[in-house]
Structure formats: C-alpha cells, structure tokens
Amino acid sequence: MSRIRILLCATLACSALGSGAIGAGQAQASASQKLYFEGSTDLLNPTTRPATLAQLKTLGVKALRVELNWYSVAPDPTSATKPNFEAENPNSYAWGQYDSLLVEAQKLGWQVLLTVTAPVPSWATANHKAPYTYRPDDLDFQEFMTAVARHYGSEVSLYSIWNEPNEPAYLTPQWSSSGKPVSGFIYRGLYQAGYKGLQAAGLPPHPRVLFGETAPVGYDTVNIRREKSAALLHPVAPLAFMREALCLNAKYKKSGTCGELQMTGYAHHAYFPAAGPKYVWKQKDSVTIASLSRLSNALNLAARAHAIPGGLPIYLTEFGVNSKPNKFEGVSAAKQAEYDAIAEHMAYSNPRVAAFSQYLFKDDPVGGPFSVSAIGGFVGFQTGLEYVSGARKPLYYGFPVPLTVTKRGHGFSLWGLVRPTTGVTKATVLVKLKGARSYRTLKTVTTNGAGYWSFNSSTKGVSWRVRWVSPAGVKYEGPPIGAY
C-alpha cells in the first residue's frame, strides 16, 4: 500500500552513536527473534500474490504483518450516517482479499500479525470528512474489533491496534488548537475499546495484542504563533505520545486516575534517516534503531508507575531502509543491504526486542512533493527488495543470508543468519582481500538451530559475502558487504 513519511532530518538534528551499538554478543541477544514481512501491495493483489508468496517462502519468510484498513471492509464507508447493520457480526463486512491472504498464510503455517488501523468509515469519525482519521468513535471501533476477532479467530496469532497513531496520516488531530498534544489521549480510548472488542469476541481474558505501533520521530511541542495551522500537522514524538496515552507526565508520574493497560508488548517503527543506523536523534523523545534504550527506559518507568505491565518486550513491527531513487532518504542499493543487516543485528543483540520486520517486497512508486501526508505529500517507500520494475536489488540476495562485519581493534567481528533454514546448517563465509580479483573461503560456519552464527577474524578483507546451499540444492549468495 502507499505509505508516507517525513523523517524530519531537516528540523530534528542527528548525532553519531558510539561504536558499541552493534557489538553485543549472542550471549546477550534475544533467544529468538521473529521476523515479520509486510508487502501488502503484492500480497493483497490476487494477480501477484501467488508468485510473491512463493518468493517469500524461498527467502525464508515465516510470518506476515498485515494492515487491515477499517474503511476498506466497512459497509457504506463514505456515508456520514452509520448504516443499519450488525456491527459485531463478521458477515456484515466485505473482507475481500484479506480473507484470501490469511487463508494462504495458514496453509503455509505462517503466523500473522494483524494491525487494525485507519482510514475509518466516514460514519465512525467525528467530522465525517476525508481522510477519515479524525477522532474515530471508540464504541464503533470496539464493535469492529469484535467482528474482526470473530471472523479471523485462530488465523491471527497477534493483534495490534492502529498504525502510527502519532502520525497525522493515521490519526487526527495530533494537537489541540492551542498546541497541546492530544493524539495519545485519543489513542488510549481506541486501544481500550479495541481490547474490549477482542475480549467480547471470545478471545482469552488477556488477548495477545500490541500497543503503540509508533512512528520513530516527532515533536514535543509546536509553535502555533510561528507556524499557525501548519504546526498542527506535525507528528507527536513517540515517547511524548506514549506518556500521554498512559496518563504520565514528563517525569513518568501518573497525571490522572488512569488504570494500568494490559498488553502483550510495545510495537514501534524504528526507521532511521539516510545518515545510517548508528545515528540517533537529539530530540530525546524520538526513537530510532540506535536509540532503543530510550524506549526500554521509558517502558520501565511506565511500569514502575503501574501504567503498563513490567518487562514488556519490544516488537519492531515495521522497518526498512530506503534506497535511491528516493532522493530525500535513499541510500545506494549496496548500502541498503548493508544497513538493513546492521539494523537486524542491532535488534537481535537487544534482549528486549522480540521481533524485527521488513516493510515492502517491491518499492512504492516515487512521486509528489516531500511533505506531510495530511496535506497531500507523497513520496512512498523505496525499502523493497525489488525496484518498482521488478528488478532485484542487492537486498533481495542479502535478505535470506544477512551479514554484518564490524571492525574490532585489529580484526573483525562477523555475524549472520541463514534465514531459510529450519535447523542447524553450514554456510560458507567468503572474503575478498585487497588487490584480489575474486573471493576465497574465509570459514565454513555452523549455525545454531535458529540459523544464527558469529565469529571473530583477523583477516583484513575489503569485502565479505555468504554462500549457502539449501538441502534442496537451492544456492544462495549474498551481496558484497563492507566493514563498519
């Protein structure tokens, strides 16, 4: 689907993170890390779905994230008046290609994370106007979530409520007319309603559902005097949004009588700008992949205030690295493959992270001005494994066998994953020495049961790559990777 983002690098400064961000060993890493793949444009299209699923299976995908847009399945979604229908009855909705996709996922044995989100039907909004994101009605949403859970039942292993609710593309208003953040409060009501809907559908008393799904960057304050109404279109910084949604003040103390919210984990989209995965935003309430400790600390403080359960895992439910031709955030295709693997390694090395993700199989088209989506901006995402044309990027070959090479003193630390494997396997790590025309074998590694491997090397190469042959004889060879 078309996605819009403004990563604010022109207005929110970045600073370099120390080299320790990538170096945690496997002993401190997540025992396991699920990978969700999202490629709705290709997977919800009946023409492209079969070939895309076959490719994803070959690439080692075993779980999907699917965004279910309320508007697209609701009866009479453009009407300002709610039609007369049984809102909790799944038969009242036109599920369309969502049904077909989830059936295919079940056949493959793939788990599904279903994010229920905007746009919403006109009759469920407070202003009944496009883009249908303005103050969705809590009771209407509760009824819809009941229908969703009754319809999909065991086909969904994990639910999530709303996509990027701190972004004006998905929830408005973000700010009051006086410049106070309000989207977190609106989201709290939606989350509570959605949670009740899941319970009403007969799911366990504590259904598996994620909170947050926050975009990575935003603002703590806006200047109405300087920017006038344009200030109200800015996203709210994720941690500021989280505090508001949990009724916490800036010091993470209860600012009201709100009770503790139940949830399975906190979902976040830890995108970073073209500056690379080791950059952090100076704005302290923004969270990219290099500053996940900010989110962990915030969750710990929120748990201490009894706003959420303690020890919640972090689910990185949407992620990707933009490549050119995105002229605003894109890096070279070669760097995209390197940066994506580095980000996955950083997530794996963080014991708090339960899931990582890849957003897009094929790039969005490039078009339109680079501006906030609420006023019509559209750039799209070029985070795919393939270009719009279908030509494969280096990331296509790197995705099944990601590799990172980290400089360590006079040597290098290598880490990788054989994603398609279903158990212990062997892979060949190749190195190209300075001045050499070809690669030679550096080491044959044995993975653990989940496909991960690592080792240290003193060999001074200029680039490295991984080769693996599946038990069925399928050959995989990743792109050249440089050391960082």
Has residue 14 got a pLDDT over 60?
no
Structure tokens belonging to residue 104: 């295919």
Where b means 16+ CB within 10 Å and e means fewer, 315-329 reads: bbbbbbbbbbebebb
Has residue 29 got a pLDDT over 70?
no
Q: For residue 14, what are the β-bridge partners?
A: 281
- State the pTM of this model: 0.93
Using an 8 Å Cβ cutoff, are 408 and 33 in contact? no
Cα separations in angstroms, 53 against 61, 275, 362, 468: 9, 32, 13, 21
Q: What are phi and psi of 480, to 5 degrees?
A: -60, 135
Residue-wise pLDDT tens digits, 338-378: 999 999 999 999 999 999 999 999 999 887 544 433 334 45
Could you give the CA distance from residue 366 to residue 378 in angstroms, rounded to a whole number? 8
What per-residue confidence (pLDDT) applies to 379?
62
Using an 8 Å Cβ cutoff, are 430 and 463 in contact? no
Query: Which single residue is written with the structure tokens 């399945």?
Result: 73
Q: What are phi and psi of 427, to 5 degrees?
A: -135, 155
Poorest-pLDDT segment among 85-94, 101-110, 140-149, 254-263? 254-263
What amino acid occupies position 375? I
Cα separations in angstroms, 383 against 274, 314, 364: 12, 22, 8
Could you give the CA distance from residue 143 to residue 369 in angstroms, rounded to a whole number? 37
Q: What is the mean pLDDT of residues 409-419?
A: 97
Residues composing the chain: 484
Could you give the CA distance from residue 257 to residue 61 in angstroms, rounded to a whole number? 43
Confidence band, pLDDT 50/70/90 cuts, at residue 4: very low
Q: What is the mean pLDDT of residues 477-484?
A: 97
Strand-strand pairing, 452-457 and 158-161: unpaired
What is the DSSP secondary-structure string of 404-422?
EEEEETTEEEEEEE-TT-S
